[in-house]
Amino acid sequence: MKAKDILIFVLTVMILSAGCKKKSSDPEITYYYAQAQIRGVNSLFKTTSNFSKFCILTGVCNTFYIDPQASGQNVISIGLPVTVKAGVTYTSDSSHTQVMYIDPTGRKYYSRSGDSLNITVTRWEGHGGTGAGTFSGKLMFEGTTPYVPDSVYITNGSFSSKIWFVIQ
């Protein structure tokens, strides 16, 4: 009887451990990101948040970090109008469209009306879906007087993120 109990225990452990192993068919974790060349340097920003209406803009926005532990530097935020649609290019003159970048020293750069910012939305699936697109443009340093005017050019930008609480 004792040997039978041990055999059942060993078989149970083997069956349970076999069920816990990662299978090649298991989906990989998807990381949402923004990436771009900033001042000619490739930068990759990751996010664990979503595009949402809860931001400074009255549109929708998301913030991407190189290192979430250092939230005051190496950050890029993308803002779009609540009525965002796939296949549309939004410019710095579009309502509620903005990109903000905080460089490694903590200096903040913003897109301004009349500048060359373009955000092209290639996918926008609405609440619970994914948003993706490309972006590029000029961002200006926003400091207090006196400050030395400075700008950052962003090229080859792209982003992909989940969308949360954006109901149209």
**What integer pLDDT is reported at residue 36 of this predicted model?**
96
Neighbours of 121 (CB within 10 A): 19
pLDDT for position 24: 52
**pLDDT tens-digit profile, the chain (168 residues):** 555 544 444 444 344 444 444 455 545 555 689 999 998 999 999 887 788 886 655 688 888 888 877 777 899 999 999 889 999 999 988 888 999 999 988 889 999 888 899 999 999 998 889 999 999 999 998 766 666 678 899 999 999 999 986 554
Counting the structural domains of the chain, the total is 1
pTM of the model: 0.75
Q: How far is CA 139 from the centre of its chain?
A: 18
Q: Cα(27)–Cα(164) distance, rounded to whole angstroms?
A: 22
Segments forming the whole domain that contains residue 39: 31-162
Q: Is residue 9 part of a domain?
A: no
Residue 46 maps to a domain: yes
Q: Does any domain span residue 39?
A: yes
Residue 109 carries which side chain, given as an amino acid letter? Y
3-state secondary structure 4-51: HHHHHHHHHHHHHHHHHCCCCCCCCCCCEEEEEEECCEEEEEEECCCE
- Determine the Cα–Cα distance for residues 139 and 116; give it in Å rounded to an integer: 8
Given the DSSP bridges, would you call strands 108-110 and 60-65 parallel, antiparallel or unpaired?
Answer: unpaired
Q: What would the two tokens of residue 143 be?
A: 């400091």
Residue 138 lies in a domain: yes
pLDDT value of residue 14? 43
Q: Is residue 105 part of a domain?
A: yes
Domain contains 136 = yes
What's the pLDDT at 18?
46
Distance from the first to the final alpha carbon of the chain: 66
Asked whether residue 2 is assigned to any structural domain, the reply reads: no
